[in-house]
């Protein structure tokens, strides 16, 4: 496959190492020799005229955006038959690549507030991203985020209810229902995608997912099925965050948040740095209030926000540790980071045991056993010690399900125990 490394585009941009490859474009690290500045150079590999036009639309959309949380575009052009965009070089990791143990509720909320601020700014400039997903969000070393790749963005004024040839672009898992139904997409479509990301961050899975990668089933879920309750998948999810996620995932755009700033305000309220966005039905209709009354209301709102946090996170510290470690284990398993998953699940089991919470310990034992089986099925060498430990932990958990008549969990646990035992036999 041809590479442009070592060439100079437009007699100005020296192309160095390839740092990313997509379906229609490659991204290189480069140098703007005129300004002696490191840059990222995105080069279109697709030579189709329609794709060239789309590529230039991306450049125009991004060039209009000047925001601290959006990757900046410096230049665009064609050279020696290649179409290219010169962008800010962002060092860091994508949101999907952040290790599970670095995620906490507060870190996640701060990151999503910045994502929403970037989208709010873009929407106010008339630009809808249309491909919001974790792979398009960079986390820089300072912890700040930058939204990138407006490659599928369109000016709102250019959007129609039907894309060319029924085109459905973007990543299926994060697209809103209206995109599959040929309806007009607007800023609320980006907010649905943020809802999917939040759901995934706090539960470790997507709301509509097919284990067999059946895209039709995923699309059907987005269009027709209600998303599962995040707290049904992870009890550690605060109720206020669940409410925000489910509102973002409403099928009808009119029932979602209507702007990115509304969502950001509600997330800030959970951090105690702002007040929740008001429900339109509860807007005050009386005369304007004086400064003293406004200050009183602001103080009361801040107190309510802090009280809400206290209620949300004020449970037993040991139980909180158990829930948090369970979440870390789920996220680490999803990323195949098995050492971190094992550490997190063992810490969760220890915390629930200390708190005498047999039910949560049993549920965590199921997750731990599933992770150990997955790890050993993927590995070339079976780990007898881990398998034996998982068998013992799960054996202790099953009576808890049996005593509470939790038949679904009991059946799942018995099947898992049998699979672990069969795998353990292979190590002898």
Active site residues: 131
Instruction: List, in sequence order, every residue forming a beta bridge with 93; answer none if it has no partner.
Output: 139
Instruction: List, in sequence order, every residue forming a beta bridge with 18; answer none if it has no partner.
Output: 28
Taking the CA atoms of 145, 151, 152 and 156 in sequence, report the sign of the dihedral they define: positive
Residue carrying structure tokens 């759901």: 199
Q: What is the dihedral of CA 314, 318, 320, 325, to 10 degrees?
A: 160
Joined tokens for residue 88: 């800010």
Q: Which of 268, 371, 331, 264 is nearest to 98 (CA)?
A: 331
Q: Which of 270, 194, 277, 212 is nearest to 237 (CA)?
A: 270
Distance CA 122, CA 71 (A): 12
Decide if 234 contacts 203 (C-beta within 8 A): yes
Distance CA 168, CA 343 (A): 41
Tell me 68's DSSP state. Answer: T
Q: Which of 319, 320, 337, 318 is nearest to 100 (CA)?
A: 337
Decide if 41 contacts 55 (C-beta within 8 A): no
Where do runs of H (alpha helix) occur along 136-285?
A: 177-180, 187-203, 215-224, 230-233, 239-248, 260-271
């Amino acid at each position: 496959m041809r590479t442009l490394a070592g060439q100079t585009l437009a007699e100005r941009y020296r192309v160095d190492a390839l740092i990313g490859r997509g379906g229609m474009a490659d991204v290189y690290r480069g140098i703007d020799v005129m300004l002696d500045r490191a840059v990222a150079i995105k080069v279109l590999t697709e030579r189709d005229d329609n794709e060239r036009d789309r590529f230039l639309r991306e450049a125009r959309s991004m060039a209009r955006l000047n925001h601290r949380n959006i990757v900046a575009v410096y230049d665009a052009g064609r050279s020696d038959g290649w179409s290219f965009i010169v962008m800010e070089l962002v060092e860091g990791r994508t949101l999907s690549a952040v290790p599970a143990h670095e995620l906490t509720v507060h870190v996640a909320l701060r990151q999503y507030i910045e994502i929403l601020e970037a989208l709010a700014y873009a929407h106010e400039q008339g630009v809808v991203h249309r491909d919001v997903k974790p792979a398009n969000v960079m986390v820089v070393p300072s912890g700040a985020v930058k939204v990138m790749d407006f490659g599928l963005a369109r000016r709102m004024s250019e959007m129609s209810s039907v894309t060319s040839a029924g085109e459905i672009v973007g990543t299926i898992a994060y697209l809103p229902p209206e995109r599959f139904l040929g309806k007009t997409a607007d800023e609320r479509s980006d907010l649905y995608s943020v809802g999917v990301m939040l759901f995934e961050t706090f539960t470790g899975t997507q709301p509509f997912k097919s284990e067999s990668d059946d895209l039709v089933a995923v699309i059907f879920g987005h269009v027709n099925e209600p998303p599962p309750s995040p707290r049904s998948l992870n009890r550690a999810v605060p109720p206020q965050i669940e409410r925000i996620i489910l509102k973002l995932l409403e099928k009808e755009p009119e029932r979602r948040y209507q702007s990115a700033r509304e969502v950001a305000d509600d997330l800030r309220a959970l951090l105690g740095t702002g007040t929740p966005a008001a429900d339109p039905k509860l807007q005050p209709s009386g005369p304007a209030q004086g400064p003293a009354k406004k200050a009183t209301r602001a103080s009361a709102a801040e107190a309510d926000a802090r009280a809400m946090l206290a209620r949300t996170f004020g449970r037993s510290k040991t139980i909180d540790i158990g829930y948090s470690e369970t979440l870390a284990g789920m996220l680490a398993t999803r990323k195949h980071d098995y050492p971190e998953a094992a550490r997190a699940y063992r810490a969760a089991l220890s915390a629930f045991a200390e708190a005498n919470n047999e039910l949560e310990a049993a549920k965590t034992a199921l997750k731990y056993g599933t992770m150990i089986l997955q790890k050993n099925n993927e590995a070339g060498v079976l780990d007898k010690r881990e398998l034996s430990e998982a068998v013992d932990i799960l054996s202790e958990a099953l009576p808890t399900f049996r005593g509470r008549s939790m038949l679904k969990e009991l059946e799942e646990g018995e099947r898992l125990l049998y699979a672990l035992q069969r795998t353990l036999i292979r190590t002898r």
